[in-house]
Structure 1
């Protein structure tokens, strides 16, 4: 159910200059989603009445991403007045008539989770505070704003590092940069905040000071896990936060019954789905909504992007993108499976095989050293080593159709468009340019021609010519001896 007393404002207007990137900071990805996507996903679990995202830098790019990530969210444009206070003030203009609580989040804090946010809002409401700050207790508070509490335990003030005295610098409780406000508190105090500070910005934290001046209550809610407050300002922090998110994701699946042999080398996106009794071997990446059924073994050294893996399947040292693998199918090692591939139950894509936009039927095998493109293969087919479906004629892609129970010889080339009928056979080295009827044997055999003495004549002085001459002389001597015996 929608919480009609809660609105969420996500701040995503910053340029993120320390990222040194043409991509807006909030669109850098960890765990398969942009940073801001993780924040929006966590907030959505609370079912707020409204979600608003404030944007400015690369406005159109960020707005398009927001529309894709959270279609229910509204985009708010920040004007030329900088600062978090101004961002929230502009978002508040779109909440006319709303009289509940406003949860303000940062778009670059991707580790915040729904449980933490729910507890945060509940603590704010239980305290009956005008403002509640999310805080954390850290071992090293250097660089953070310190939380100074009064005798009753409420927040007396927030002291920035540069303004703190020795006693205040010793405080380990810091401001995490996430807040819950009563909407009326924001409407009352935001217009009074100026930009008379070193950064010439309108600071959201100034609202807390104004509330205290008028005798209102400013509460603080301390998070149990400080990592949920971690933000991203540069590439180093991006990788650190990505590692923490991945460790959390891997652990969650382990607790759900998935065996992960080496969590340190296993990367799993947040939208991947794994069934109990899946085994993930080292150096494996499971990405982009990949789904793996129970009993499957993935890895080692495997990357799956947007794939669906059936029960009991095995994929070893392979790379696959947007492909479907049936139950008890086997793939690899060293297979390259491209989009549009479907491998049937108990099917096989073997060693050094590339498959693209093709359907391989139940029990069918493409064992090794093959390229299969734009092809439909029936049931219980076996293609010999070195099979190639030549799908491109320099202008257009064409399909190859191979029926059920077809067995091909080694080193066959199927020149599309071509159809091989059910139960047909093809000989080794065949180049198949015409349709093969059901049950037929297709051969393309030219008579073998041996040109005697060619090496000695055309490659004189080489090692090959020398040994060939010796062999020919020995053969003549042997033939002469046999003739005398007769």
Structure 2
């Protein structure tokens, strides 16, 4: 069996945050989730996450994930360190298992890399394999020390390295593969005789070397995969790399991104062929976008379903459905639980909330449609307000097929306008409008002669 141990117990003080470091988000998901997902998509069969700082918060977030959690003791008398963290999972793997140790703050590691790494480890019959990389500036990383035959003899941490060792450019990524039995025995031999007074997982390598075990080194091709997150700048750097990956995948699958550097799409999103997305778009969560859509400007779409052949212009859409061949925007707001039909139009500065808006219906500008069921081929005029709230409770309005709501009208819920019902402009409707009726509700117009002169306004 292949077992993944993910180290996620650190406090992350350099993040300067009340949020646990591994819960800081990259493209809408905690960085720890990327590591878990890469493990799941690889050949790993069991995942164990080591947590400590704000352990309950992390467990609650991932309660639906098929992973094991082991809590690292955080008392003053505990030795801490990566070796101490891995010891918390010794009961989760057997002697014949292959164990890969990952870090919860290195979200860019790919499943393809993990599979190649584990295959190299097992085919080489290594006791331990280290994922390494050559860096121009290795400052801060542990160095890989090799003998004259290029065999790895130890890993030395930056703080414990001699001046000569600090010149080594091959670094330890912090990702290891072990034979389960060898790892268990070596962990029992760890001590805190180092600058930090911690149990180093890297000292396991030294122990295995002393036992004449075979140590392998697997060099990364894309060094960015081992970039860790220790502060907000690192978080931003990893986000930019992940965004590049995600956008590239969409473009490879037939989506046009006019300016990928200025387009934010989360990896959970699905987009169909021939859709064109212009700069400034933000597409988040469990959003699906169909084929041949055009998304312009600073549009933001969250957890929504966008069908085919839709044009969206500078619009906010939240948790809603937009039917095919519909045009939305510019500057519209589709609030949660709204269902916009096919061949519809939701125009400038129109807000729709918790409503059904039927096929072929139009609200071209400056309207609020809240808690409503609007049928097909309905025209909503400029300035129409669906008055849904009496200060305590909200009520629904029904406007049936082929109705016409004139400009600057108020529909005071609960109220119904039946099929082919017409509401004259400027009316405030408080009673139902029957089929085919014209409803007018206006006070009598009164024109006062000479009023301007009397008020000395001329």
TM-score > 0.5, shorter chain as reference: yes
Name the structure 2 match of 1:469. none
Output the TM-score relative to the length of structure 2: 0.96
Name the structure 1 match of 2:83. 85
The alignment partner of 2:196 has SS state of coil
The alignment partner of 2:45 has SS state of strand
Name the structure 2 match of 1:19. 15
Q: Is structure 2 residue 231 aligned with structure 1 residue 234?
A: yes
Name the structure 1 match of 2:40. 44
Name the structure 2 match of 1:180. 177
1:438-486 deviations in Å (ceiling 9; x for gaps): 111111122211223333434x3xxxx12xxxxxxxxxxxxxxxxxxxx
The alignment partner of 1:93 has SS state of helix
Name the structure 2 match of 1:243. 240
Output the TM-score relative to the length of structure 1: 0.91
Matched-pair contact (CA < 8 Å) for 2:311–2:327:
yes
Matches within 5 A, 1:49-88: 49-68=45-64, 70=65, 72-79=66-73, 80=75, 81=78, 82-88=80-86
1:105-149 deviations in Å (ceiling 9; x for gaps): 100111111111111111111211111111112221122112122
Name the structure 2 match of 1:31. 27
1:149-203 deviations in Å (ceiling 9; x for gaps): 2344431221233444454333221111111111101111101112232222111
Higher helix share: 1
1:31-82 deviations in Å (ceiling 9; x for gaps): 11100011001100125332111111011101111214x2x10110101321
Match of 2:390 among 390, 393, 403: 393
Distance change >3 Å, CA 215–CA 47, structure 1 → 2 = closer
Q: Is structure 2 residue 262 aligned with structure 1 residue 265?
A: yes
Match of 2:279 among 279, 282, 286: 282
Q: Is structure 2 residue 447 aligned with structure 1 residue 447?
A: no
Aligned-partner Cα distance in 2 for 1:114–1:320: 33
Distance change >3 Å, CA 333–CA 249, structure 1 → 2 = same
Matched-pair contact (CA < 8 Å) for 2:109–2:225:
yes
Name the structure 1 match of 2:5. 9
Aligned-partner Cα distance in 2 for 1:152–1:184: 27
Corresponding pairs, count = 454
Distance change >3 Å, CA 98–CA 384, structure 1 → 2 = farther
Aligned-partner Cα distance in 2 for 1:222–1:400: 65
Name segments (4+ residues, structure 1) moved above 4 Å. Answer: none
Aligned-partner Cα distance in 1 for 2:50–2:422: 65
Name the structure 1 match of 2:341. 344
Aligned-partner Cα distance in 2 for 1:154–1:118: 23
Aligned-partner Cα distance in 2 for 1:259–1:19: 35
Q: Is structure 2 residue 356 aligned with structure 1 residue 362?
A: no
Distance change >3 Å, CA 399–CA 340, structure 1 → 2 = same
Name the structure 2 match of 1:204. 201
Matches within 5 A, 1:114-133: 114-133=111-130
Aligned-partner Cα distance in 2 for 1:176–1:341: 48
Match of 2:212 among 211, 215, 220: 215
Name the structure 2 match of 1:484. none
Question: Tell me, which stretches of 5 or more residues in structure 1 are unaligned?
Answer: 467-486
Aligned-partner Cα distance in 2 for 1:138–1:208: 21
Aligned-partner Cα distance in 1 for 2:125–2:72: 30
Name the structure 2 match of 1:483. none
1:89-112 deviations in Å (ceiling 9; x for gaps): 1111233x4631111110011111
Aligned-partner Cα distance in 1 for 2:422–2:150: 84
